[in-house]
Chains A and B, each alone.
Chain A
Amino acid sequence: MTPVIEVEHLNFAYEPGFPVVEDAAFSIMPGQSGCIVGPNGGGKSTLLKLLLGLLSPDSGKIRLFGKSPAEARRQVGYMPQYHQLDPSFPVTALEVAVMGRLRPGFFPFYSRRDKETAMDALTELGIADLAGRSFADLSGGQRQRVLIARALACRPGLLLLDEPTANIDPGAEEQFYATLARLRQRMTVLTVSHDLGFVNRETDVIICVNRKVSIHRAENFTAEAADAVYHHRMNLIRHDHACFCRCGGGHDE
């Protein structure tokens, strides 16, 4: 079976001598879902960009569905953090979602099927009623779900979500987890998160990134610590890099 993601001996540095990702190796098999965790500045976003093919590794290899990231791009649905986008851009929710059907080349207009696919994605995320609303008028959580819908409209085999729980409205949280659980049955969902409670519930494997990268099975990871401790530990991981020694990150602080 070809792994969905296969990373071997991956090294990357923005400047020579200051490695951001060092000798990373992990793989995710079909049917598994994962979560990338780690402190700020630890290389989570860099790893994500490498997986998307937006950055090229200095050495080592990345394979998505057995192909290079550039070749596999159209099988990947990507959700950026919404605050990276212009909040006052004149565009409706449906117009954003249908961008998932965008294709290169001349005359890239959307067919009716493209619009239906986008509408289905909005429905799946429970925001079909917002389709005609301006993106600028939506709340943070709603914008985030529009962006997930856009990623789903790509009909991806791999869904990459950058901090999907960062702005979720408290009331919509349970519904959001249920949606993710449903998606995981159809595709590999890889999230980047600093929220370990979220990691615990919604994932098979945990990828710890703090320059070095290590992978753990989620049940082993949680077995180590009871829920109460876990909460405590989550704070540790956010604020204290040394904690990563314990989950095998190989950090040498």
Chain B
Amino acid sequence: MSELIRELFSPELAFLRCALLVGVLASPALGVVGTLVVTRRISSLAGACAHAALGGVGLALFLQRVLRLVWCTPTIGAVAGALCAAVVVGVVSLSAKEREDTVIAVVWALGMSIGLLFLERTPGYVDWQGYLFGNILLLSKSDIVMTALLDAAVLIPMMLFYPAVLAMSFDTTFSELRGVRTTTIYLVLLALTACTIVLLLNVVGIILVIALLTLPAATAGCFTRHLWSMMASAAVLSCVFVIGGLLGSFYYRLPSGPAIVVLAGVVYLAALGFSKWRGKRR
């Protein structure tokens, strides 16, 4: 154990420390947003946001390198892409005139394709696999600051509006009748989901980010009977999954994203099986 701690503080492993710190810092936001995504059943929408983020990344890199727009970083592009997707799908699901799942699938595929096309035409080396599967070597101090900001952006509104968020997640119509601005809350939730996804892109990548968002919450949902306790347990679980997955990947020389997700998935399946078994015995 002490050897492990010493290794963690060695200068060569700054990237691992950084990844662990981002993972641990992200877990409160992950717990809260993940729980809302799971209970409101919008995980496919979150998936569309993640893939649309790649579209933003591709466009941003293209603008940065071809048109010399220095400020146009991949992170800004990812945020813009994910937010655009969230707004498009959110507005569609609220007006319910189109088939929501179709629109989600279109945004999902279109975002990714646009990203890959732009990356193809961007000169110089682009680590596109890093965006798809995560690359903790890309994490920097600015990610730590951004993650802390995200926590604040998620936790402060949650503490101010928890009863309204609970009521609205459970029964939107009833909350609307009580005068709650359900549309505003829903769009804010989508925006925060988009931001959470973008921040986790470097840790687990676009394809696996949905797993990290939903698996801790789904695992927590097997055992909790309050929304707040589901959020808190999901935060603790995502912390455990990220730390366990990162250390496992470091020791066994595995890619970090899949290691985290496999750990989370195995625990989820075990929890699901256990809760079903317990439910039957009752």
Contacts and interface: CB of A to CB of B under 8 A. Distances in A.
A107 B161 CA distance: 6
Given A108-B164, A110-B163, A136-B225, A89 B39 contact: yes
B225 A78 contact: no
Interface string A83-120: 00110111110011001101110111110000000000
Interface in B19-40: 39
Interface string B161-187: 111101101110111111111000000
B226 A85 contact: no
Contact of B224 (A90, A95, A109): A90
Contacts of B224: 90
Contact of B178 (A73, A85, A96, A107): A73
A106 B226 CA distance: 22
Given A73-B177, A104-B178, A108-B161, A90 B225 contact: yes
Contacts, number: 82
A107 B156 CA distance: 11
A3 interface: no
B225 A92 contact: yes
Contacts of B221: 88, 90
A91 B167 CA distance: 10
Given A90-B39, A90-B224, A90-B227, A99 B179 contact: no
Interface of A: 52-54, 73-74, 76, 78, 80, 85-86, 88-92, 95-96, 99-100, 102-104, 106-110, 134, 136, 150, 154
Q: Which label, helix, strand, loop or mixed, suits the secondary structure of the A interface?
A: loop
28 contacts: A52-B177, A54-B177, A73-B177, A76-B177, A78-B173, A78-B174, A78-B177, A86-B39, A89-B39, A89-B169, A89-B170, A90-B221, A90-B224, A90-B226, A90-B227, A92-B226, A99-B163, A99-B166, A99-B167, A99-B175, A99-B178, A102-B163, A102-B167, A102-B175, A103-B179, A104-B178, A106-B161, A154-B178
A108 B163 CA distance: 6
Which residue of B169, B170, B173, B226 has the most chain A CB atoms within 10 A of its CB atom?
A: B170
